[in-house]
């Protein structure tokens, strides 16, 4: 891989977009490498993924404007599909994905962060959907996910005005969960990922699926989705060990890390 790096630390996978000469902008090659990287993650040994950008300036500065500049209508639509396919892969990835946003998250950069389960960012982060200033719409899910994550009115204001916002405003509108000094961002993401990885992996995966699938439908159907995924946890080693530890009231056992199974 030229532009996407992967490291494994315990149960946590770290995916880094590394195309620093273009502030980690997403061209076709980066998108393909991202797709291949997620496909190659071993779900037997990985329980949480962190997605970040290389360097201290930019998470992802958007889709590659040079590559887009000469596209026809049909090619533009196909480029949008290419981005949407990989972002959907991240959104539906069976285990949680945390975006550690270390600088510019513009256009496709904001959009890829929104396909992750959780966003945290550094104090120098800048979010925005500048596309209308370039004569296009947000094309990697921005018109859909921003309106779902923050209020529709706020999403429309940000998209129509193409105004960039800093980390504190992204926090205030609920786009990110927390803001850290740059040097503390990755350690904080790793700490959160390790906390997730210490919990029962089947239960965590089922929570992700229940939340994601439930948000796509009405509440009556959503609670049925929840019931099935709740029931699916029973009879697993995780459920038996987790509940037995509690019921045995054995302090040592309660504190012991349960040898959680994976699926
Ligand atoms: N595509 C291609 N190249 C990009 C890029 C992008 N999105 N963003 C930055 N770069 C390149 C620059 O062209 C420059 O390359 P050269 O050194 O070869 O000239 C290099 O990265 C460094 O960028 P700047 O010199 O511009 O750095 P800066 O600090 O002055 O500005 C910035 C930083 C404000 C992020 C500015 O680079 C910028 O505005 N970038 C574009 C942001 C943008 O509009 N993103 C949305 C793209 S459209 C999109 O994403 C569509 C979609 O929804 C799918």
Which of the residues are catalytic? 111, 131
Per residue in 132-166, pLDDT (tens digit) is 999 999 999 999 999 999 999 999 999 999 999 99
Tell me what percent of the residues of the chain surpass a pLDDT of 90: 92
pLDDT of res. 251:
61
For atom 27 of ligand 1, which residue has the closest CA? 23
Which atom of ligand 1 is the closest one to the Cα of 142? Answer: 53
Which atom of ligand 1 is the closest one to the Cα of 130? Answer: 44
At residue 250 the predicted structure's pLDDT band, cuts being 50, 70 and 90, is low
Cβ(32)–Cβ(1) below 8 Å? no
Q: How is residue 144 written in tokens?
A: 């859909």
CA-based torsion, 238, 244, 247, 250: positive or negative? negative
Distance of CA 37 from the midpoint of ligand 1 (Å):
24
Mean pLDDT of all residues belonging to the chain: 95
Q: What is the DSSP string of 124-161?
A: T-EEE--GGGGTS---SSHHHHHHHHS-HHHHHHHHHH
Distance of CA 128 from the midpoint of ligand 1 (Å):
12
pLDDT of res. 156:
98
Distance of CA 164 from the midpoint of ligand 1 (Å):
13
Q: What number is the average pLDDT over the span 234-240?
A: 92
pLDDT of res. 248:
87
Residue 260: is its pLDDT beyond 70?
no
| CA 44 vs CA 47, 59, 77, 144, 206: distances in Å | 8, 28, 36, 32, 15
Nearest to 192 by CA among 261, 242, 263, 117: 117
Residue 47 burial by Cβ neighbours in a 10 Å radius (0-12, 13-18, 19+): buried
Which atom of ligand 1 is the closest one to the Cα of 106? Answer: 45
Cβ(118)–Cβ(96) below 8 Å? yes
Determine the Cα angle at 215 with ends 149 and 191, to 5°. Answer: 60
Residue 246: is its pLDDT beyond 90?
no
For atom 44 of ligand 1, which residue has the closest CA? 130
Q: What number is the average pLDDT over the span 212-226?
A: 98
**Which domains are present in the chain?**
4-197 (3.90.226.10), 201-256 (1.10.12.10)
State how far the Cα of 243 lies from the Cα of 225, in Å rounded to an integer: 23
Our mutation pick for probing the ligand 1 site, out of 62, 115, 143, 165, counting the most ligand atoms within 8 A of Cβ, is 62
Per residue in 28-72, pLDDT (tens digit) is 999 999 999 999 999 999 999 999 999 999 999 999 999 999 999
Residue 127 pairs in a beta bridge with 105, 165
Which atom of ligand 1 is the closest one to the Cα of 63? Answer: 50
Residue 255: is its pLDDT beyond 50?
no
Measured from the CB, is residue 63 less than 6 Å from ligand 1? Answer: yes
């Amino acid at each position: 891989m030229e532009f996407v790096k992967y490291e494994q630390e315990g149960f946590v996978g770290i995916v880094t977009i590394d195309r620093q000469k273009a502030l980690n902008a997403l061209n076709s090659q980066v998108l393909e490498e991202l797709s291949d990287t997620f496909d190659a993650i071993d779900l037997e040994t990985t329980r949480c993924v962190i997605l970040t950008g290389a360097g201290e300036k930019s998470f992802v500065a958007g889709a590659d404007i040079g590559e887009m500049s000469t596209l026809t209508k049909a090619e533009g639509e196909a480029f949008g599909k290419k981005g949407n396919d990989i972002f959907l892969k991240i959104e539906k990835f069976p285990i949680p994905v945390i975006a550690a946003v270390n600088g510019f998250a513009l256009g496709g950069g904001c959009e890829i962060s929104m396909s992750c389960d959780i966003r945290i960012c550094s104090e120098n982060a800048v979010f925005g959907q500048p596309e209308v200033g370039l004569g296009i719409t947000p094309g990697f899910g921005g018109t859909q996910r921003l309106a779902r994550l923050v209020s529709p009115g706020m999403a429309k204001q940000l998209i129509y005005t193409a105004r960039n916002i800093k980390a504190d405003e992204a926090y205030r509108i609920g786009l990110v969960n927390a803001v850290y000094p740059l040097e503390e961002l990755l350690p904080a993401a790793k700490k959160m990922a390790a906390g997730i990885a210490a919990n029962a992996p089947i239960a965590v995966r089922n929570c992700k699926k229940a939340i994601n699938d439930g948000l796509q439908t009405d509440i009556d159907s959503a609670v049925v989705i929840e019931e099935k995924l709740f029931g699916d946890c029973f009879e697993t080693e995780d459920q038996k060990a987790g509940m037995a530890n509690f019921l045995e009231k054995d302090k040592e056992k309660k504190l012991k890390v349960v040898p959680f199974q994976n699926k």
